[in-house]
Structure 1
Amino acid sequence: MRNRYLDLLRFLAIVRVVVYHVTGWASLTLVFPAMSVMFALAGSLMAASLERSGPPAVLRRLRRLLPSLWVLAAVFVPAMLLTGLPVTPRVLLWLFPVSDPPANGWGALALSVIWYLRDYLWFVFASPVALWLFRRAPLPTLLAPYALLAAIESGLWAGAPGPAREFGLYFGAWLLGFAHHAGMLRRLANRVLVPAVLVLAAAGGAWILTHPGPRGYDLNDIHLGNALWSAAFILVVLGRAPAGAAWVDRSALVGRAVTVLNRRALTVYLWHMPFVVALTPLVDVVGWSHQDPLGLAIRVLLVFALVGVVTMAVGWVEDVAARRPPELLPGGGRSRRPSAVVPKVVVPAPRTASAQVTAARR
């Protein structure tokens, strides 16, 4: 059974990412460090998959991840090739982005969110070994990415390759997802959790204040501060997570929105940035500037509307990748049991029990 609280967190994270890319408000990264939360949720799901089916879970995760990327690439890679992107073997990275796939000038900005899939792939590959280590030495394994990032950001490993920095920045959140799945965060007593949150938040906040980036206090430019601040945030939202959030479904509209965005999270994430890039010069001409609250609201609504259209057109690919029946909009009414006509057939008890077991496994 799905945990609607975790669904709600993912919903808020996706909405926050889109709004941030439209508005550019650095404060949003501090209020809700969405990318770290998304990696933590993904880590929790990956740990559950590995526990359930072992290393084959890696292939299953790739099967669910890559088809949506291929749909995006089928549209944008030919467009980039026609507008100056050279044809090289690196173009194949759009099929399997273990490194940054090539892009031309406009494509580099419109498709900049691909870094998330690159990191996600590497974290998935590392998860079987990381989970093995985590089960045997939880705290040292959890602290390793943060120690790595501290060494890089402090200059002790100034020449570190890009992947090492990415592991230091976000793999700690992924491992906190492991801890969440194992129930470790929930079992932390307040006398341990509260001081840990305060120390991480204070250390992260101090680093952020003393190391502002080119956009001020935007966490995306302040890696160590981002990692520490996000860890404190994750400890709170997952360490004291409720068992569920049934209230989400008390409103049909809210429940449907949360379901749709969870089932189409990858599609929304991949497609929103091209619309942000395309709409910016158009709405500037009309006069809906970033300084105008009404203009910003219109920008956000336009981006969500266009992403909604694309999601209805190609979002079903996520259903196929997950081996679910494809739906135009997930979360519709479930099939109802017939009530007017009931076959009057006496079913033997053993067969009924078998049928019930079969239905419960679906």
Structure 2
Amino acid sequence: MRNRYLDLLRFLAIVRVVTYHVTGYATLTLVFPAMAVMFALAGSLMAASLDRTGLPAVGRRLRRLLPSLWVLAAVFVPAMLLTGLPLTPKVLLWLFPISDPPANYWGGLALSPIWYLRDYLWFVLASPLVLWLFRRAPLPTLAAPYVLLVAIELGVLADPPTVLREFGLYFGAWLLGFAHHDGLLRRMRNRVLLPVAGLLGTAGLAWIATHPGPRGYDINDIHLGNALWSAAFILVAIGRAPTGAAWVDRVPALGRAVTVVNRRALTVYLWHMPFVVALTPLVGLVGWSPRDPVGLWLRVGLVFVLVGVVTLLVGWVEDRAARRTPELVPGRPRRSAADRAAAAPASPAPAGAEGALVGAGVRVPAPRRDGERVLEGARWLSGR
């Protein structure tokens, strides 16, 4: 049984990511640290999959992750090869992005969200061992990514590999997902959880305020502040998650939107940035500046419309990857076999059926003559 509250969080995270990439509003990253929330939810699901099927869960998770990337690569890699990308063995990283796959000058920006799949891939591969460690030493395992990030930010680990930095930045959120799945966050009393969240949040905001990045207080540029503030947000938003949110489905439009975005989250995430990049100069041609409110929100609307179109075209790949029946638009109510049988038109009994029923010991009422039917109708009309 799905928890609609967690579905709602994922829906809000995806919408926030797309809106941020169009508008560039740094405040959005503070109000809702979407990427950390997405990693925490993914970590919880990964722990559940490992508990259910063991090591084969890694293969299943990769099977659900990679096909949508391959569809994107089938469109953009040939386009990049035709516009200056050298054909080298590194191009094969588009099949399995264990490291950043190569891109040309425009592809590097349009396909920049690929880093999320790279991190996700590493986290999935590490999960069986780390979940084993987490259940034997929860606090040291959970603290390890944050200690690693502090060491990097303070220069103790100079010039670390990108993947190692990303483990420090986002793997803590993934581990908080483990803690959510195992019920550790739920069992923490408020007098413990809330002060810890307050301490982490205060430390994160203090670091953000004193270490602004090139875009000001955009937490994507302030790694330690991002990790601490996101941990505080996850402790409250997911650690105190209700068991459900039935009210979401009481508003049909909202319930359907939450379902569609959850079923098509990877497609929306992968395809939105090319439209953001393409529309920015096009909107400028009509005379609106990049920061003009009308042009800005027009781009937001157009990006969502175009993402909706491409989701209709290729979103079904996510259904195939998850071994679901492909749907053009997910979330359509499905009738059960009993509902379909009840709605089916009744057929008249075949000739000779009454004799068969009597032979089986079933009482069949004798047919009435036309005169009896008329008399019965007259009595009904007279109120008798």
Range of TM-score over shorter length: over 0.9
CA distance in 2, matches of 1:97, 1:260: 26
2:106 is aligned to: 106
Q: Deviations over 1:310-337 (max 9, x none)?
A: 0000000000000000000000121252
1:262 paired residue number = 262
1:339 aligns with 2:332: no
C-alpha distance in structure 1 between counterparts of 2:220 and 2:294, whole Å: 26
State the alpha-carbon separation in 2 of the partners of residues 129 and 282 from structure 1: 48
**Which amino acid letter does the alignment assign opposite residue 242 of structure 1?**
P
Letter in 2 for 1:11: F
Residue 287 of structure 1 and its aligned partner are, at CA, apart by 2.7
Partner of 2:119: 119
Q: How does 1:126-141 map to 2 (within 5 A)?
A: 126-141=126-141
Alpha-carbon distance in structure 2 between the residues aligned to 1:288 and 1:199: 44
- Whose radius of gyration is greater, 1 or 2? 2
Counterparts of 1:287 and 1:272 in 2: how far apart (Å)? 23
Q: Displacement of 1:113 after TM fit?
A: 0.3
Which residue is 1:9 aligned to? 9
Aligned to 1:92: 92
Q: Which runs of 4+ in 1 moved over 3 A?
A: 340-344
What value does the CA root-mean-square deviation take over the aligned residues?
1.2
How much has 1:187 moved relative to structure 2? 1.1
User: Could you tell me how far apart the structure 2 residues matched to 1:222 and 1:19 are?
Assistant: 20
Q: Write the distance in 1 (CA, Å) between the matches of 2:218 and 2:285.
A: 27
1:230 paired with 2:237, answer no
Amino acid at match of 1:326: P
Matched residue, 1:201: 201
1:254 offset after TM fit, Å?
0.4
1:306 matches 2:306: yes
SS in 2 for 1:99: coil
Structure 1: gaps (5+ residues): 345-362
CA deviation after TM superposition for structure 1 residue 340, in Å = 4.0
Q: Which of 184-193 and 8-17 deviates more?
A: 184-193
| Alignment partner, residue 25 of structure 2 | 25
The answer on whether the counterparts of 2:43 and 2:176 sit within 8 Å (CA) in structure 1 is yes
Structure 2 equivalent of residue 48 of structure 1? 48
In the TM superposition, residue 160 of structure 1 has moved relative to its aligned partner by: 1.6
Distance 1:45 1:230 in 2: 19
Which secondary structure state, in structure 2, belongs to the residue aligned with residue 28 of structure 1? helix
The SS at the match of 1:175 is helix
Counterpart amino acid of 2:257? A
Counting matched residue pairs gives 344
Q: Distance in 2 between matches of 1:161 and 1:79?
A: 29
For structure 2, the 5+ residue unaligned runs are 350-384
CA distance in 2, matches of 1:297, 1:148: 39
Tell me the distance in 2 between the aligned counterparts of 1:166 and 1:291.
31
Cα deviation code 1:172-202 (max 9, x no counterpart): 0000000000111111111111110111011
Counterpart AA for 1:335: R
Shift of 1:284: 1.3
2:215 counterpart residue number = 215
Supply the AA of the counterpart residue of 1:174. W
Match of 2:27, as an amino acid? Answer: S
Report the identity percentage: 78
Instruction: Report the counterpart of residue 358 of structure 1 in structure 2.
Output: none
* Aligned-pair CA distance for 1:339: 1.2
Tell me how far 1:290 sits from its aligned partner: 3.6
Structure 1 residues 189 and 279: alpha-carbon distance in aligned structure 2, compared to 1, 3 A threshold: same
